Amino acid sequence: MKSLEPARHFPRPLTTVDVVIFSVVGEGLQVLLVQRPDDSNEPFPNAWALPGGFVDVKEDKSLEACAKRKLLEKTGVRSPYLEQLGSWGDATRDPRGWSATHAWFALLPLTSIRLRKGGNAQELKWFPVDELDAVGNIAFDHRVILDAAIERLRSKVEYTSLPAFLLPEPFTLPQLQRIYEVILGRELDKSGFRTRALAAEFMEETGYMDVGAPRPAMGYRLKDRKSPTVFPRTFSARN
C-alpha cells in the first residue's frame, strides 16, 4: 500500500481551547475567570482570563474532548452542558505567535462545582457578567469571546429551555422562572411562563418538594440533558 506523503513543513499556529463557564451565584449570572501568573515571561501577567489551555494531541481526541478536560480541571464536573461558541485567531492575539482558540461555553449549577486552582493560575473567581468593565485587564481577546458568549446565551434563553441547565435537580417552576429572569434581566408573567414551560414538555415530574411554602411544590427534572428544547415563540416581558 502506498504510504501517505509526509506533511509539508510550514509554521503552525498555537492551538488552544477556552471555556466560558456560567453559573448563577446569588441573584446574578456570573462567569468564572482565572488569574494568570505573576511572571514577566508569561503573556498578560496577573490579568484575568478564561479557563483553558493548549490542545494536548496525545490526550485530546477532539476539541470537545479538550474543552471537557479543561472544565474538569477547573470545576470537577465531567458531563455538563457544553456548546461550541466559535473560533478566534490571528497573528496578534497572543504575543507568543500566530494563535487560534476554539471557544465553548458551559452551564453549571453552582452546587455541582468544586473549584480547583490548577496549572499556572494564581486564583479563580466568579465575576458578574454585567460588571466585566470593572475587572480591568482581561487577557488576550477573551473579553471579545466573553461578550459573544453572553450574547449567545441571552438570545437563546428567549426561545429555549437552556436556563434549566443552571439548576440542580429537582427544581420547581418558580425556581426555573427566576433563572430565566436573572439571565434576561426582566420579569416574566407567571401564568404565561408556566403555560409555555409545561407545554414544551422538556421536563418530567419528580414528586412534591418541601420548599418552605404553605404547600409543597412539584419538582421537575430535564428529560434530556444533551440539548435544550426549542420553543415555537419567544417569552414576553410582563406589561
Q: Using one digit for the tens of pLDDT, what is the confidence trace for 17-57? A: 999 999 999 889 999 999 998 888 888 999 999 999 999 99
pLDDT over 90 (residue 147): yes
pLDDT over 90 (residue 220): yes
Give the mean pLDDT of 74-82: 83
For β-strands 52-54 and 99-107, DSSP reports them as unpaired
Which letter does DSSP use for residue 98 in this model? S
C-alpha cell belonging to residue 237 = 416581558
Q: How far apart are CA 183 and CA 176, in angstroms?
A: 11
pLDDT over 50 (residue 239): no
pLDDT over 70 (residue 121): no
Q: Residue 79: which region, alpha, beta or left (left: phi > 0; alpha: psi -120 to 50)?
A: beta
137-172 as b/e, with b when 16 or more CB fall inside 10 Å? ebbbbbbebbebbbebbeebbeebbbbbbbbeebbb
- pLDDT for the residue numbered 41: 85
> pTM of the predicted model, to two decimals?
0.90
The tens digit of pLDDT for each residue in 158-171 reads 999 999 999 999 99
Task: Return the closest-CA partner of residue 176 out of 137, 121, 228.
Answer: 228
